Amino acid sequence: MFLCPRIFLINLLITLIVSGLFFSPFLFYKTVQASQTSVIITVTAAAVCGNGAKEWGESCDPPDFNGETCVSLGYGGGGTLKCYIDCTFNVTECSATPSTVPVAGGGGGYTPPSSILVLQGITSPGAIITILKDGEIFIVGQEADSSGNFEMRIFDISAGVHTFSFRVKDKENRESVAFSVTFTLSEAMTTTISGIFLPPTVGLKGNVLKGETAPQSEVSISISSAGKEVVKNTKAKIDGTWSYDLGNANLQEKTLYIIKAKASSPDGLMSAFSQSLEFYFKKAILGVPEVPEVPKVPGIPADLNGDGKVNLIDFSILLYWWGKNKPGVDLNNDGVVGLRDFSIMMYYWTG
Amino acid sequence: MMRKLLFIFVLLFLPHFTQAAILYLAPDKGEYHQGDTFIMAIRIDAEGECINAVQADLKFPQEVLSAVDFSQGGSILNFWAAPPVIDENQGLISFSGGSAGGYCGKIPGDPGESNILGKIIFSARGGSAFGGKAKVEFLETSQVLLNDGLGTSAKLSSKGSTLTILPGVSSTPKQEWQEELAKDSTPPEIFKIEINQVSSAFNGKYFIIFFTTDRQTGLDYYEVKEGERDWVKTAGPYVLKDQGLRSIIKVRAVDKAGNHITVEQLPQNKPLPYKYFIAVAVLILIIGGIILFFVRRNRLNHE
């Protein structure tokens, strides 16, 4: 009789621990991993003005002034720095003319905090990232750090559905295919898009497939021909570079292969596939010099005005010839400028 | 019994085929009274594919329903190759649009559904002609293309919507669209005007491009004004009337609720100064005078 309550308690404890372990991820994390890639969206309350803690999007939230004073804001004469009700600095009691006034004054009515977007992800170390927002160039030249990580915080962005497209240029000037995420940005909330793993860059030098991705990632190479697919694997070095000799893949000569690659990081993040490359295998002959690498930036089929970009100008030209036969604008050569040409243009869009 | 077991077995052990992209309507069913105005969203489920272009052709019974408007607000499509067209006589709605960089489906954790292509605003006419039922369906000409740089068609299936139109007018008629319009006080997003000239289009003339979105009720139209000329409604690229580029160009984007934003582009070339006109006039007078002088002298010589 004495043992029964103990056994019951032990059972209860084990049940609680097991169920706790099982359910805790669902209780504490509202985020779920996407099936194909590792992109995760986390939506949290944006800065709450009036909670006494300065958060993103706020200049101050008394008593938290983030260490700022009248002097640090450029008011040499000092004075008392205050905070408006909308959590922006009130410099009316600061003296001496400042060199710059960081925040417009105002006060009065309550302004809801703006939506904040945080983009976090990985790519190859030192890669240059270009971001398009809804088809327009938004951020250019953001560089990934030496570990391939990047983070961007964007303030004052309108709520609603947005598509963000990412492209990278690696150290060898190879460009990746665009990777896009579409999501709804909630008003007055902080939306964090994390787990963005940009597709690896790829290029061919003779029979060697080369590219860059996040350091020490597993690179999975898909080689397909006539509906049959072979997958080969390699690993990226610490600097993010990777290569695979297609001579080791038992390929046949005079056969067209379509090759693309994707990567999984040591942290378990999955990238989408790179662009596809067409490849004819040719056995290496001793004494014959190596074939130069395929042009780093291949001609863009949808660049109709030849300015190196695919943007609204090219779209205007496409619309002008819509439904007509116009070689050069009829990108798939089916005799009419239509939806398929438009689709090809959307694929190559650079903004 | 064996048949039932076989059926269950087949259901359980059939291989999992990759699903096609799905175009569908929301709501897929509903009851409305005559005079009700309601919103039907056209949505897409990419089913794991990345797509970038959609052509949607829909049929609705025009005797029962009236398509009063189409909203691009909240659409995942950035660019409209063929803006939405409503044919009330035939009961047809069609549009083609695309998403630059592609659309790869909803990301788990997304607070919104983020898969709207557009919204049709229907008004219920009455229910007698079709026994109170109204089917809105996608036509087989609809297509979705993969974001693969080749224009490959995605496998596609579609789900329409079946509505019941009840007789009589409701005591509280649904006015979903009017409510949306009333809520929208935000103008379209700010944008810029770009002047261009290419030899391959617009007969080599200067044209302007501009592009914006309205995330609430959607963009309705653009208007262009060159200098002192009247406002001209336009849907897209606009060939300038002043090919000398000496006029201020204004473009106004207006949303469905009537909110608007106007942007301005200063002239690339300075307007011709008055001195120029005076100099030209004096030159013409002098040349005219000289010609007249020689003509008269010739006549006098002949006489």
Kindly state the average pLDDT of the residues A14-26. Answer: 44
Query: Strand A82-83 to strand A89-90: parallel, antiparallel, or no bridges (unpaired)?
Result: antiparallel
* CA–CA dist A66, A60 (Å, integer): 7
Q: How many CB atoms lie within 10 A of CB A176?
A: 27
Selecting from A31, A34, A161 the residue whose C-beta is nearest the C-beta of B76 gives A161
Nearest CA in chain A to B75: A161
* CA–CA dist A329, B49 (Å, integer): 26
> For position B275, what pLDDT does the model report?
67
Measured in angstroms, the CA of A231 and the nearest CA of chain B are apart by: 20
Q: Given the structure tokens 């694997």, which residue do they identify?
A: A233
> For position A80, what pLDDT does the model report?
85
Query: Strand A160-169 to strand A128-133: parallel, antiparallel, or no bridges (unpaired)?
Result: antiparallel
Dump pLDDT digits (tens) for A123-159.
Answer: 999 999 999 999 888 999 999 999 999 999 888 788 8
> For position A290, what pLDDT does the model report?
52
Kindly state the average pLDDT of the residues B104-118. Answer: 91
> For position A100, what pLDDT does the model report?
30
Give the residue among A309, A324, A316 at the shortest CA–CA distance from B208. Answer: A316
> For position B89, what pLDDT does the model report?
96
Selecting from B52, B111, B189 the residue whose C-beta is nearest the C-beta of A158 gives B189
* Residue A188 in contact with partner chain B when CB distance is under 8 A: no
Nearest CA in chain A to B195: A313
Query: Strand A115-122 to strand A189-197: parallel, antiparallel, or no bridges (unpaired)?
Result: parallel
> For position A41, what pLDDT does the model report?
78
List the 272-311 stretch of A: residues with Cβ below 8 A of B.
272, 275-276, 301, 304-305
* Residue A21 in contact with partner chain B when CB distance is under 8 A: no
What are the DSSP E strand ranges found in chain A? 40-45, 82-83, 89-90, 115-122, 128-133, 136-143, 149-157, 160-169, 179-185, 189-197, 201-205, 208-212, 218-225, 228-235, 241-245, 256-264, 277-280
* CA–CA dist B122, B65 (Å, integer): 6
Strand order in the sheet with A241-245: A201-205, A208-212, A241-245
Nearest CA in chain A to B146: A343
More confident residue, A28 or A197: A197
The dihedral sign for the CA sequence A146, A150, A153, A154: positive
Q: Given the structure tokens 């690896």, which residue do they identify?
A: A200
* Beta carbons of B122 and B59 less than 8 angstroms apart: no
pLDDT band at A112 (very low <50, low <70, confident <90, very high): very low
Helices A339-348 and A312-320: crossing angle in degrees, nearest 10, is 170
* CA–CA dist B273, B275 (Å, integer): 5
**How many Cα atoms are found within 13 Å in the side-chain-facing hemisphere of B261?**
17
How far apart, in Å, do the first and last CA atoms of chain A sit?
Answer: 77
B100 with A40: Cβ contact below 8 A: no
* Residue A351 in contact with partner chain B when CB distance is under 8 A: yes
pLDDT of residue A48 exceeding 70, the answer is no
Chain A partners within 8 Å of B102 (Cβ): 165, 178, 180, 346-347
B76 with A160: Cβ contact below 8 A: no
Chain B partners within 8 Å of A346 (Cβ): 52-53, 79, 98-102, 147
Buried b (16+ CB within 10 A) or exposed e, B126-142: bbeeeeeebebbbeeeb
Cis check: omega of the bond before B27, within 30 degrees of 0: yes
Give the residue among B34, B149, B45, B137 at the shortest CA–CA distance from B91. Answer: B137
Selecting from B100, B111, B200 the residue whose C-beta is nearest the C-beta of A135 gives B100
Give the residue among A225, A208, A295, A221 at the shortest CA–CA distance from A260. Answer: A221
pLDDT of residue A235 exceeding 60, the answer is yes
> For position B77, what pLDDT does the model report?
95
pLDDT band at A72 (very low <50, low <70, confident <90, very high): confident
Selecting from A182, A312, A317 the residue whose C-beta is nearest the C-beta of B198 gives A317
Residue B287 tokens read as 């040349």
Selecting from A40, A182, A342 the residue whose C-beta is nearest the C-beta of B81 gives A342
> For position B5, what pLDDT does the model report?
44
- Choose from A30, A303, A316 for mutation: most chain B CBs within 10 A: A316
* Residue A115 in contact with partner chain B when CB distance is under 8 A: no
Give the residue among A86, A89, A61, A85 at the shortest CA–CA distance from A73. Answer: A89
Give the residue among A188, A161, A312, A319 at the shortest CA–CA distance from B218. Answer: A161
* CA–CA dist A124, A211 (Å, integer): 9
- Considering only A29-38, A259-268, B50-59, which range has the smallest mean pLDDT? A29-38
Residue B294, SS3 per DSSP: helix
pLDDT of residue B11 exceeding 70, the answer is no
DSSP bridge pairs for A129: A142, A168
Chain B partners within 8 Å of A316 (Cβ): 196, 201-202, 207, 209, 236-237
Query: Strand B260-265 to strand B37-45: parallel, antiparallel, or no bridges (unpaired)?
Result: unpaired
* Residue A333 in contact with partner chain B when CB distance is under 8 A: no
* Beta carbons of B79 and B97 less than 8 angstroms apart: yes
Residue A114 tokens read as 């703006």
Residue A11 tokens read as 């059972």
pTM (predicted TM-score): 0.74
> For position B9, what pLDDT does the model report?
39
Dump pLDDT digits (tens) for A313-323.
Answer: 999 899 899 98
Q: What is the mean pLDDT of chain B?
A: 88
* Beta carbons of A190 and A153 less than 8 angstroms apart: no
Kindly state the average pLDDT of the residues B9-15. Answer: 37
pLDDT of residue B135 exceeding 90, the answer is yes
Angle at A171 between CA A169 and CA A175, to 5 degrees: 25
Look up the ipTM and state it: 0.79
Tell me, what amino acid is at A46? A
Q: How many CB atoms lie within 10 A of CB B82?
A: 16
Kindly state the average pLDDT of the residues A193-204. Answer: 94
Residue B296 tokens read as 């008269």
Measured in angstroms, the CA of B11 and the nearest CA of chain A are apart by: 24
More confident residue, A298 or B141: B141
Integer CA distances (angstroms), B141 to A338, B144, B161, B217, in order: 14, 10, 18, 27
Strand order in the sheet with B219-226: B232-234, B219-226, B249-255, B260-265
pLDDT band at A284 (very low <50, low <70, confident <90, very high): low
Dump pLDDT digits (tens) for B32-41.
Answer: 998 999 999 9
How far apart, in Å, do the first and last CA atoms of chain B sit?
Answer: 126
B151 with A339: Cβ contact below 8 A: yes
Measured in angstroms, the CA of A160 and the nearest CA of chain B are apart by: 6
* CA–CA dist B184, B259 (Å, integer): 8
Give the residue among A175, A176, A129 at the shortest CA–CA distance from A148. Answer: A129
> For position A115, what pLDDT does the model report?
82
Nearest CA in chain B to A300: B149
Query: Strand A228-235 to strand A277-280: parallel, antiparallel, or no bridges (unpaired)?
Result: unpaired
Angle at B242 between CA B237 and CA B248, to 5 degrees: 85
Measured in angstroms, the CA of B81 and the nearest CA of chain A are apart by: 7
Phi (first) and psi of residue B66, to 5 degrees: -120, 125
> For position A90, what pLDDT does the model report?
83
* CA–CA dist A340, A108 (Å, integer): 54
pLDDT of residue A105 exceeding 50, the answer is no
Inter-chain contacts counted by CB atoms under 8 A, chains A and B: 182
Kindly state the average pLDDT of the residues A208-231. Answer: 95
* Residue A120 in contact with partner chain B when CB distance is under 8 A: no
More confident residue, A46 or B292: B292
Highest mean pLDDT among A181-195, A230-244, B118-132: A230-244
Residue A227 tokens read as 């509906």
A135 with B110: Cβ contact below 8 A: no
Kindly state the average pLDDT of the residues A36-57. Answer: 70
* Beta carbons of A46 and A189 less than 8 angstroms apart: yes
> For position B141, what pLDDT does the model report?
96
Measured in angstroms, the CA of A116 and the nearest CA of chain B are apart by: 14
Selecting from B52, B106, B211 the residue whose C-beta is nearest the C-beta of A343 gives B52
B116 with A161: Cβ contact below 8 A: yes
B149 with A344: Cβ contact below 8 A: yes
Determine what percent of chain A is predicted with pLDDT higher than 90. Answer: 44
Nearest CA in chain A to B99: A346
Buried b (16+ CB within 10 A) or exposed e, A7-43: eeeeeeeeeeeeeeeeeeeeeeeebebbebbbbbbbb
Measured in angstroms, the CA of A169 and the nearest CA of chain B are apart by: 16
